[in-house]
Every structure is written in C-alpha cells, then in structure tokens.
Amino acid sequence: MNLFRLDGHEIPFQSGQTLMDAALVAGAYIPHLCHNPELAPHGSCRLCLVRVGGRLVSACTTPAVANLEVESEVPDIQASRRAIVQMLFVEGNHICPACEKTGACQLQAVAYYTGMLTPHFTHFFPRRELDASHPDFVIDFNRCILCELCVRASRDLDGKNVFAISGRGIGSRLVIDSPTGKLGDSTFSASDRAAHVCPVGAILPKRGAYAVPIGQRLYDTAPISQVGDVAANEGRRAP
C-alpha cells in the first residue's frame, strides 16, 4: 500500500491522486475553497498550502508520492491561511449574521477553523449588484470570492460556459454569458451542477434560503474538519 504522512498520520493513496484527494478520502481535512473532487485541480485559493520537503505547495495540485512527509496543521501555515481568509472577507461584503448562507458557508466555516476572530485588514466595502433575474436562483456578487467553481462546473460538467471571470487583479469579477449579462437570460438551470458548487452565499436558490433553520445547518452541527465542504455535500443533494 502506498502511504505518505500528513502531520505524522499515515495517509494511503492510489496512483494519480493528489495530496488533497488522498487526504479527503482518508477523512483528513486540509482547508480549501476552490477545490472540488468532481473538477480538475485549480490551486487558486492557496488555502491548501502544505509544506513538503521544506517547500510550500498546494495540496490540491501536488501528486501524492510514497513516504512524503507533509506538514499542514502547523502555526505558520495556519497563520497564512488565516490571513488569506481575512483578505477574502474584507475584499467582499460578507456580513455573516445577515447572510442566508450562514451556518452552511464554507468561507465562514474555514474562518472558524483557522481561528479568525477579527478582519484585521481595512474593509473595502465594494459596491456590487445583486442579480435576481433568474426564476430559481439569485446571484449576490458581493459575496463572490472568485474561486471559479461555478465557472469550471458550468464548463466541465454542464457543458454550458455560463460563467467566466473578467478583469485583472482587484478589478476581477464574475460575469455571465448572456445577451444582457443577466443570469435570467442565460442557459443556466436549477439542475446544473454549477448551481450547487458555490462555497459561499453568492449563488442561492430562491424560496428556500431558510428551509433549514439557522442552528441546524451543516457547520452548526459540526466543524468543517469533520463534515467536509459544502459544495460536496450540496452536490450529493443536487437534483
């Protein structure tokens, strides 16, 4: 059996698996936001940085190799993850107590996991629109973290290319492929996989936000390290 060690624990893996994939199968949590087992590795959020042989690498793109010694839950890496999450919070408008996704938001859950108690950086408070043109879903661009999960799911799983990222740097934004740029004028459907991969409250179903009461949601009942990411859980329930 092929094995590597993650923070001293043996993790079995199969040929072709990444460190992240093997860890997830083994029930070992490595923080992440842009990773989804259904999609090709992306490596954009950098939350899954681990140390291998003295070098920092992304667990979601690094192949598992026998006898590797991998560090994840160490103070300096956790501090880096916490800083990344803090920057994600201040670059958007994430008001957790007023968000329909609270308790089932992966960003919120990772913030708890990394020990983020304050935003630390100055909030940008950007002005972004809300698109409620679709009959079944609404997009709140204030909460988008540019993980590209919806972009990749629409392209690779749905074959539609409904979403894309436009711009560069701080000007980057999620855009919709339709004549008007509105979701309601696109080919997006509630049955699309892209409708169920958002790790935050950016893509939300209408008329169902509080079907599961706050206090009984995924991360209200257990930490993300025990129950996994919301995209995978919602994927198992998607129509």
187-238 residue pLDDT tens: 999 999 999 999 999 999 999 888 999 999 999 999 999 998 866 665 444 3
CA distance to 11, 26, 61, 119, 130, per residue, from 17 (Å): 12, 12, 9, 35, 38
Per-residue pLDDT averaged across 131-148, rounded? 97
239 pLDDT higher than 60: no
pLDDT digits (tens, 9 = 90+) for 80-112: 999 999 999 999 999 999 999 999 999 999 999
Give the domain ranges of the chain.
2-73, 82-208
Q: Is 15 exposed, middle or buried (0-12, 13-18, 19+ CB in 10 A)?
A: exposed
Question: What is the pLDDT, as a whole number, of residue 34?
Answer: 95
In CATH terms, the fold of domain 82-208 is: Alpha-Beta Plaits (3.30.70)
Per-residue pLDDT averaged across 36-55, rounded? 94
196, 234 Cβ separation under 8 angstroms: yes
Residue 210 φ/ψ region, left for φ over 0, alpha for ψ in the -120 to 50 degree band, beta for the rest: alpha
Q: Which amino acid is at 35?
A: H
**What is the rounded distance in angstroms from the CA atom of residue 193 to the CA atom of residue 165?**
18
In CATH terms, the fold of domain 2-73 is: Ubiquitin-like (UB roll) (3.10.20)
